[in-house]
Amino acid sequence: MSWQATVVTLFPEMFPGPLGQSLAGRALENGVWSCRTEDLREHGLGRHRAVDDTPFGGGAGMVIRPDVADAALAATQADATIPCVYLTPRGRPLTQADVRRYAAGPGVMLLCGRFEGVDERFLQARGVEQVSIGDYVLSGGETAALVLLDACVRLLPGVMGSEQSGVEESFSDGLLEYPHYTRPAVWDGHEVPEVLLSGNHAAIAQWRQAKAEETTRERRPDLWSAWLARKNENRTAAVGGAAQADLRGLRRIPT
């Protein structure tokens, strides 16, 4: 059974968009994943199929009505085990761990907001996850939905040509990825680091690890702190495990 992406949006024509090309597009054609849209406007109210209304308490902008959002959600008839995700700058940051979780399941349902967002009562009542792709504001959730889907689809079995590519890239182990170089060996007076031409795989791996750590420390101190904390936890656990093994060995020594 293919991985199922369901998108509730006012602009269904935006999907699959760029995901109909390249690796994701081939996977879509081959049935590795599917992309279905639910037009929010079809569940609008009145002659003009209104999907929004003015916010209680005043303020600029409009808010998507909870009854309209709920009708669209029900119309998808999506599997209850599929997480429903609302793309919003108010959400928690999307991480690679989230992406792996979504990709490992049967699929994901994405709710694309517009205007000032969606009525909070609907989000709370239906247990919708609220996720942000960054600290900036877009015109709507469609672009963010494409980002999330791209991140998920590339992790599906058989989509990427090399499984190792997914293992070594940024965030897979909590660090940013090391820099890459290709031919020519000298370009515009700039040379490729000598170690990468040495053929010494152990030295290359060591250089790449050092560069990943250096880049993460300089550019993402939040990731660096988290990585150090996990490293220390693993070291403590390893020491504790070794100590327990030593104690078990001592108990077996005959007297």
Q: How far apart are CA 226 and CA 219, in angstroms?
A: 14
Q: Is residue 39 part of a domain?
A: yes
Q: Is residue 52 part of a domain?
A: yes
Q: How far apart are CA 121 and CA 194, in angstroms?
A: 59
Contact 62, 54 (CB under 8 A): yes
The residues that bridge with 129 in the sheet, in sequence order, are 85
Q: What is the DSSP string of 120-134?
A: HHHHHHTT-EEEESS
For residue 238, is pLDDT > 90? no
Contact 49, 21 (CB under 8 A): no
136 annotated binding-site participant: yes
Same domain, 129 and 197: no
Phi, psi of 52, rounded to the nearest 5 degrees:
-135, 170
Q: How far apart are CA 130 and CA 148, in angstroms?
A: 13
Q: How far apart are CA 234 and CA 185, in angstroms?
A: 39
Same domain, 130 and 40: yes
Same domain, 129 and 208: no
Residue 231: give the domain boundaries: 186-251
Q: What is the DSSP string of 158-191?
A: TTSS-HHHHHHSTTTTSSPPPP---S-SEETTEE
Same domain, 136 and 195: no
127 annotated binding-site participant: no
Render pLDDT for 211-222 as a digit per residue (tens, 0 to 9): 999 999 999 999
CA distances from 253 to 29, 239, 243, 249, 250 (A): 64, 22, 16, 7, 5
Q: Is residue 196 part of a domain?
A: yes
Cis geometry, peptide bond prior to residue 12 (ω within 30 degrees of 0):
no
Same domain, 132 and 63: yes
Same domain, 101 and 146: yes
Same domain, 51 and 131: yes
Render pLDDT for 191-235 as a digit per residue (tens, 0 to 9): 999 999 999 999 999 999 999 999 999 999 999 999 999 999 998
Render pLDDT for 86-106 as a digit per residue (tens, 0 to 9): 999 999 999 999 999 999 999
Q: Is residue 179 part of a domain?
A: no
Domain endpoint, select from 135, 153, 171: 153
Same domain, 29 and 77: yes
135 annotated binding-site participant: yes
Same domain, 144 and 197: no
Same domain, 14 and 95: yes
pLDDT at res. 131: 98
Same domain, 109 and 15: yes
Which residue is associated with the tokens 């849209």? Answer: 37
Q: Is residue 144 part of a domain?
A: yes
Report the CATH number at residue 144: 3.40.1280.10
Render pLDDT for 117-161 as a digit per residue (tens, 0 to 9): 999 999 999 999 999 999 999 999 999 999 999 999 999 999 997
Number of domains in the chain: 2
Q: Is residue 136 part of a domain?
A: yes
Same domain, 28 and 96: yes
Q: Is residue 67 part of a domain?
A: yes
Q: How far apart are CA 239 and CA 135, in angstroms?
A: 40
Provide the whole-model pTM: 0.86
